Structure 1
Amino acid sequence: MTHPQPLHRTGRQPARAAAAAFVGTTIEWYDFYIYAAASALIFGKLFFPSHEPFFSTLASFGTFAVGFFARPFGGLVFGHLGDRIGRKRALVATLLIMGLGTVGIGFLPTYASAGVLAPVLLVVMRVVQGIAIGGEWGGAVLMAGEHAPGQRRTFLASFAQLGSPAGLILSLLAFRAVTAMDKTAFLDWGWRLPFLASAVLLIVGLLVRLGVNESPEFEAVRRERRTATLPIAEVVRNAWGTVLLCLGANVIGVAGAWFVNAFMLNYTTQTLGLDRTLILDCLFIVAFIQFFTQLASGWLGQRIGPVRFLKAAAALAMLSPYPMFLLVSTGRPAAIVAGIAIAVMCMSSSYAVMAGFMTNAFPVRVRYSAISLSYQLCAALAGGLTPLIGTLLVHQYPGQWWPLALFYSTLAAISLLCISALAMKQSAASLTAGAAMAE
């Protein structure tokens, strides 16, 4: 098989592409995380009022899951566009769509003023968010990774993943500020401010993203007229097994993030009765730990090899929920931070290195579609359902945290098995290719 020769990677473009991926995904994840915080803290009361808090929370997390179910559609649409007309154009479109959807939520009426129309409009805006983030991730990873020299791909591709903790930090700052308001003001209009602030971030993101050249690897494919006519059809026909393994490999990085940042926020405030501001402060500290853990993981994964690193991270993630729940249940701030940080460090280490690992699993001509399909299907299944399953387990086993810990360990075990199988598959393919060249 012949590989396209990439165009020359000009001086600052690899670093600029990594920075643009970081800024763009930070904004996109900020938008997604403020919805997660709002769904855990306030949307149940505003859009799904009920005499039973369990049903309000379940309905709120249901709209949260809707965004995840829309993500595969966004991945398919923008994956196709990214493989056909370029990564850069697709990414500009996803940023615009996400910004419009998020700002739109800030203007929505609540159930008290609009009745059933309010939750319907909320679901529509959530679908818009899901479509945008579904197309964002794959393109951001590829713009960072495909600009990078081969020996630095794992590290520079991880910059797209850094947008997740950075967006979380911004979202927690925003909600920490508005939850400090008078309770009546927060319920009336304060909750809208984090969503409306996305308009400013949108302008910044567009300016940064427009300053980066198109991916040199995609340009090489386009120059040789080798772009795929129907990329997703080619992926399903030739690489469906690899897609499923990549889906499974991503489970702990995707589901773990929403377990900690959406479900645990609700669990600690409603089930354990801890103060909302206290938990937001603890998650804020942990978000910084996650940011620097991911930065170090990208570098370390490059040094020791992504496969070895990912296996170790997934194995440790299987053990992490037990100390997390033991420490969080004490209610002491330092213990809460330590417990959640243990789980987050293991989960985010896998998330950081997975981006570069996945880009090498598929050919350039269908890569955007393939990694988007893998990741976004995982997001829909593992990410969208995780807070719902956690809420149901709490309701089914009141006062017991061990079912939640077993659930988390199972997620990590799925990733460990799929990472191992994917590594074996890639090794076998390399050996076959080497034998063919020798002949």
Structure 2
Amino acid sequence: MNPDVQHPGQRQPARAAGAAFVGTTIEWYDFYIYATASALIFGKLFFPSHDPFLSTLASFATFAVGFFARPFGGLVFGHLGDRIGRKKALLTTLVIMAIGTVGIGFLPTFERIGVWAPVLLIVLRVAQGVAIGGEWGGAVLLAGEHAPAKRRTFFASFAQLGSPAGLILSLIAFRVVSSMPAQDFWSWGWRVPFLASAVLLLVGLVIRLGVAESPAFEQMKLEHKTVKLPIAVVVRDEWRTVLLCLGANVIGVAGAWFVNTFMLSYTTQTLHFDRAMVLSCLFIVAIVQFCTQLASGWLADRIGNVRFLKRAALLAMLSPYPMFLLVQTGRPVAIVIGVGFAVMCMSSSYAVMAGFMTSVFPVRVRYSAISLSYQLCAALAGGLTPLIGTVLVHQYAGQWWPLAAFYSVLAAITLICIARLERRRNAGSPSMERAFVEPQS
């Protein structure tokens, strides 16, 4: 029996998609509040220096540490998800993420405990990275493997919706505390968004406990087809596909952190725009991203995944030039339009890539394979993007074109890898055929 073709009664597509959305929203909220804090305040609180550039660079370095921990989380929870089930792995990642985030909310600053403050911050950041590294693959599979085959991209995209939803919540949280008197904000107000994660954890656990295990995994377990060491099978049999999927994810991963994290630092510290104004603009952009991703999953199911992804990557290559031209004006409407256009192109790719990858790899190693592909991309492209952007700003002071060119290169890598994946399909690679779903009639 094909594990991807189950009786409809065995599925909970809407509930599974909803649980994936809520769970990833909580996890991304936790991740984004750290990203926002690293761009705005952590440099001063945990890495004080006479040179703001060095403080910001150190803050973004701890931000990158979380990305470097993500492949480890993907490997550990990918193994557990392929061996004991998607649901159990996901419940564990949610708890680990909450511990890391709430711990940051209680953490003393450099002024209180000296060098131990950044050390403990890094430890808790690693916990966040491990949790999100294991979360993504399981959430995508829980939604995608419950879904009907012809709607897999749309349902799997609900796990991706957690990213803009988490961003929206994080921006609301920091927008509220940023309106506090400065003394209160810097002494205790910045902690509130982190401590609020404890409430979100309880909500997420209740929702996820109500979702059944993936029918594809249950069928595989019944047929005794689970793999003893899934990652070994992935490295031996699927390494080419893993590398191509890594590259195909670049603009969706790196682009998100470029426009949502680096641009926050760039506009407030380099262009000296008002922090509250920029946060308000990014809040509107996050809503645009949410709507774009929801529509992208629906549209890609109809015109074909690979055709959609190639067009999105091509538009993403062109998008940073109007973005920077409009951002430079300093007008809120222009900022929203410029960043919003870039986000629409980037998030279209991000939304569809989830469902695309659930079909690229076989069920028995799927959690490990998609986690490895995505989390390696996150470590390399996502973690380094704000750092590279900060260095380019310092190296080419007053010029935006190197930043735009860097963004175009990221999108070009995605376009090339998608084209290579398509070429492999056309050459007859058996494991690739089901990845390139045809448009619905």
Question: What TM-score bracket applies, with the shorter chain setting the length?
Answer: over 0.9
Query: Which amino acid counterpart does residue 334 of structure 2 have in structure 1?
Result: A
Q: List alignment gaps of at least 5 residues for structure 1.
A: 435-439
Give the corresponding residue for 2:277: 278
Relative to structure 2, which stretch is displaced further, 417-426 or 76-85? 417-426
Query: Which amino acid counterpart does residue 329 of structure 2 have in structure 1?
Result: T
Give the corresponding residue for 2:132: 133
TM-score (normalised: structure 1): 0.97
Note the 1:223-242 alignment, pairs <5 A: 223-242=222-241
Cα shift at 1:324 = 0.2
Of all paired residues, the percent bearing the same amino acid is: 76
Aligned mates of 1:361, 1:216 — CA distance in 2: 18
**2:345 maps to 1:343:** no
Cα shift at 1:429 = 3.4
Give the corresponding residue for 1:46: 45
Aligned mates of 2:175, 2:432 — CA distance in 1: 54
Indicate the RMSD between aligned Cα atoms, in angstroms. 1.3
Cα shift at 1:9 = 3.6
Cα shift at 1:26 = 0.3
**2:80 maps to 1:84:** no
Aligned mates of 1:341, 1:269 — CA distance in 2: 18
Aligned mates of 1:216, 1:423 — CA distance in 2: 29
Once the two structures are superposed, what CA deviation does each residue of 1:135-186 show, in whole Å capped at 9, x if it has no partner? 0000000000000010110100000000000000000000000000001100
1:18/1:143 contact within 8 Å kept: yes
Note the 1:42-81 alignment, pairs <5 A: 42-81=41-80
Cα shift at 1:260 = 0.7
Query: Which amino acid counterpart does residue 413 of structure 1 have in structure 2?
Result: A
Cα shift at 1:422 = 1.1
Aligned mates of 1:400, 1:358 — CA distance in 2: 37
Give the corresponding residue for 1:13: 12
Query: Which amino acid counterpart does residue 56 of structure 2 have in structure 1?
Result: T
**2:364 maps to 1:365:** yes
Aligned mates of 2:148, 2:284 — CA distance in 1: 34
Cα shift at 1:11 = 7.2
**2:312 maps to 1:308:** no
Aligned mates of 1:335, 1:244 — CA distance in 2: 37
Matched residue pairs, number?
A: 433
Cα shift at 1:266 = 0.2
Aligned mates of 2:236, 2:142 — CA distance in 1: 25
TM-score (normalised: structure 2): 0.97
Aligned mates of 2:331, 2:322 — CA distance in 1: 14
Cα shift at 1:423 = 1.9
Note the 1:329-408 alignment, pairs <5 A: 329-408=328-407
Give the corresponding residue for 2:326: 327
Query: Which amino acid counterpart does residue 314 of structure 1 have in structure 2?
Result: A
Query: Which amino acid counterpart does residue 55 of structure 2 have in structure 1?
Result: S
Query: Which amino acid counterpart does residue 56 of structure 1 have in structure 2?
Result: S
Cα shift at 1:420 = 1.0
Once the two structures are superposed, what CA deviation does each residue of 1:195-216 show, in whole Å capped at 9, x if it has no partner? 0000000000000011000000
Aligned mates of 1:323, 1:214 — CA distance in 2: 45
Give the corresponding residue for 2:153: 154
Aligned mates of 2:421, 2:92 — CA distance in 1: 32
**2:173 maps to 1:174:** yes
Aligned mates of 2:428, 2:372 — CA distance in 1: 21
**2:414 maps to 1:415:** yes
Aligned mates of 1:96, 1:345 — CA distance in 2: 32
Q: List alignment gaps of at least 5 residues for structure 2.
A: 434-441
Residue 433 to residue 103, structure 1, CA distance change in 2 (3 Å) = closer
Query: Which amino acid counterpart does residue 291 of structure 1 have in structure 2?
Result: F
Cα shift at 1:27 = 0.2
Partner SS, residue 291 of structure 1: helix
Aligned mates of 2:155, 2:34 — CA distance in 1: 28
Once the two structures are superposed, what CA deviation does each residue of 1:253-278 show, in whole Å capped at 9, x if it has no partner? 00000001110000000000100000
Aligned mates of 2:372, 2:387 — CA distance in 1: 22
Aligned mates of 1:137, 1:126 — CA distance in 2: 17
Give the corresponding residue for 1:249: 248
Query: Which amino acid counterpart does residue 307 of structure 1 have in structure 2?
Result: V
